[in-house]
Amino acid sequence: MITTFVPAVANALWAGRSFHHAMRFRRAHRHPAATQYRLLRTLLRANADTEYGREYGFREIRTVARYRERVPLTTWEDYAPYVQRILTGERGVLTRGIVRSLIPSSGSTSARKLVPYTRDLQSAFDRAIGPWIVDLYRRQPALATGRAYWSISPAGEAFRDDRHRVPIGFDSDTKYLGGLIGHIIDHALAVPTCVRLIDDLDTFRYVSALFLLRARDLTLISVWHPSFLLLLLGAIDAHWDRLLDDVRHGTLSPPRPLCDKVRRIVARRLAPDARRADELRRIGTFEANAAACWPRLGLISAWGDAHAALDLDRVRTAFPGVTIQPKGLIATEGFVTLPFNGMRPLALRSHFFEFVDDRGDVHGVEALEQGHTYSIVMTTQGGLYRYRLRDKVTVEGFCDRTPSLAFQGRDDRVSDRCGEKLNESFVTKVLADLFQTHRIMPGFATLRPRCVDGRWRYVLLLDLEHAPPAHLVRDLEQGLGRNPNYSYCVRLGQLAPAEIEILPPGALGRHVEAKRMHGIRAGDVKPQALDIPAGHPASVALQISPP
């Protein structure tokens, strides 16, 4: 049995090690431009003798302006040839640091990107995670006294074979935190990292749910997309009686059998707990009393911007009284913003950032204006230089002089079948307004273009427990019609009016499984407000062109 003492000590060690990062991060808020310039100079000096650094003359670059002149804006396609060489073990290609692993991108498209992960990139993540953790424990000290659930996805992609001298993926999600911190946090986890060895998704959720129910001292839940947590809660509800029997007897009875090796590893972490089983049984049904299962749960952290806000509202409903904290913007490529002091400031000690406005002009951190929207460009310790992340953010305020940014959507997700140019940010706002007006909370919602008999229209796919409200399709069409290009295409008859299709229950789970079949890990799937099917690429009409 893990006593309360062990998680408390592990959390205290983590917070103590992170304290200096928090203090430096706070001081840097007063001097964002100087902080960013020093970081850029460090990155250029460190990688001047790489192949990429020699090609673009890193050694001769002394100013930000010169950096923009010499180094072009890049996309992932620019790095694909370099990454193939890194896979074979070639060094000094993009970074001087050794590439420890290639991490599959968390993007939800079918095309897989492998992001080089180095020790310096891990340190950059640590410089952002540290301030976030210290701020969490400062605001809610009780969070540090119990166990936490940090999103764990099935192994899926992590492997090495004879063709690859560099492994793909991590053997544990805590490796993002670095070796020492990863080992410390392992002792404060409600669900052990060995659970990720389970590849079958239903079985993975069942075993994760079993460990969560055993953890009465659970204080914190951190996942990426809130839909991941909703599906996990659904598994608890579906297998409630069986799970309680397993808690009582220390047994393991998933819906599908585990292989012998994984079963032995997981079973070592289980022991009979009749007292906990009786406590859970007294709660009654899980669906109506989910929060009662974890009386010490104080905070749930998950993405909450753009389309994720819809699922986060469902989490908020399931856990009244628990603090719900929207995450900052984190990509596989780097750390962009973090929750800190009630805002989400730029992680300006982690990477060098530039921002492209709607006219295509490039700005530094010091030039951002409140209320304006920008597309992110980043230079990272993993060997990405002036890399267009394709995430759009709006300046929502400032921490001292450092901007706090809210994610709005992807600037490359534009659907354009007949000239309508619907982008994801706009569709996200339309759906949010629609669901708020009609007071509905769908289990799954996405807008998808569909061609029937040679004519395109947009169909809103919904998972609803009840019949759709009257006038829902009318209000959907009116909302989309706020885009003049869409309205014009409908008036001309190029587009048919929008429709609504009610999906069978469980649409979210099927969506996650479909994405997983294309190599996206379950914890990384991000249901989109605008679903552009494979074979129908988004229009480039609204993409920002390099200056």
Among the listed residues 298, 320, 384, 395, the one whose alpha carbon sits nearest the alpha carbon of residue 355: 395
Q: What is the DSSP string of 40-51?
A: HHHHHHHTTTSH
Query: What is the model's pLDDT at position 164?
Result: 58
Distances (CA, A) of 504 to 31, 69, 465: 53, 54, 9
CA distance 196 to 217: 22
Q: Which amino acid is at 115?
A: V
Domains of the chain by residue range: 5-12+121-326, 26-118+346-410, 414-524
What architecture is the 414-524 domain classified under in CATH? 2-Layer Sandwich (3.30)
CA distance 329 to 315: 19
pLDDT digits (tens, 9 = 90+) for 108-146: 333 467 899 999 999 999 999 999 999 999 999 999 999
Distance between the two ends of the chain, CA-based, in angstroms?
A: 60
pLDDT digits (tens, 9 = 90+) for 217-243: 999 999 888 888 988 999 999 999 999
Among 503, 473, 460, 445, which Cα is nearest to 310's? Answer: 445
Nearest-CA neighbor of 11 among 185, 209, 272? 185
What are φ and ψ of residue 59, in 5° steps?
A: -65, -25
H or E segment and range at residue 205: helix 201-214
Q: What are phi and psi of 365, to 5 degrees?
A: -60, -30
User: CA nearest 263: which of 334, 212, 210?
Assistant: 210
Q: Tokens standing for 142?
A: 């009780």
CA distance 234 to 509: 10
The number of residues making up the chain comes to 547
Cα-to-chain-centroid distance, residue 156: 17
What separation in angstroms does the CA of 430 have from each of 96, 122, 281, 425?
46, 38, 42, 9
Handedness of CA 476, 478, 481, 482 (dihedral sign): negative
Task: Give dist(CA 282, CA 87) in Å, integer.
Answer: 54
Alpha carbon of 284 to those of 97, 140, 163, 183, 281: distances in Å? Answer: 54, 29, 53, 37, 6
Q: In what order do the strands lie in the sheet with 323-326?
A: 147-150, 218-222, 299-302, 323-326
Each residue of 371-398: pLDDT tens digit? 999 999 999 999 999 999 988 999 999 9
DSSP-derived secondary structure for 490-547: HHHTSBPPPEEEEPPTTHHHHHHHHHHHTT--GGG----SB---TTSPPPSTTSPPP-
Return the pLDDT at 535.
45
User: Is 527 within 8 Å of 514 (Cβ atoms)?
Assistant: no
Residue pair 449/456 in contact by the 8 Å Cβ criterion: yes
How large is the angle between the packed helices 274-283 and 201-214, nearest 10 degrees? Answer: 100
Cα torsion 239, 226, 173, 323 to 10°: value is: -100
The string of pLDDT tens digits covering residues 47-98 is 999 999 999 999 999 999 999 999 999 998 899 999 999 998 999 999 999 9
Residue 419 per-residue DSSP state: S
Q: How far apart are CA 39 and CA 175, in angstroms?
A: 24
Alpha carbon distance 527, 529 (integer Å): 7
- pLDDT by 10s per residue, the chain, length 547: 445 568 888 888 888 888 999 999 999 999 999 999 999 999 999 999 999 999 999 999 999 999 999 999 999 889 999 999 999 899 999 999 999 888 876 443 334 678 999 999 999 999 999 999 999 999 999 999 999 998 876 655 444 444 556 766 554 555 555 555 666 677 789 998 888 888 888 899 999 999 999 999 999 999 888 888 988 999 999 999 999 999 999 999 999 999 898 999 999 999 999 999 999 999 988 988 999 999 999 999 998 887 788 789 889 999 999 999 999 998 889 999 999 999 999 999 999 999 999 899 999 999 999 999 999 999 999 999 999 998 899 999 999 999 999 998 877 778 878 778 888 888 988 999 999 999 998 888 899 999 888 788 999 999 888 888 889 999 999 999 988 878 878 887 788 999 999 988 887 777 777 766 665 666 666 778 888 865 443 332 222 222 2
Local structure of 229: helix, strand or coil: helix
Q: Decide: helix, strand or coil at residue 104.
A: strand
Instruction: Determine contact, residues 212/152, Cβ cutoff 8 Å.
Output: no
C-alpha of 142 from chain center = 25
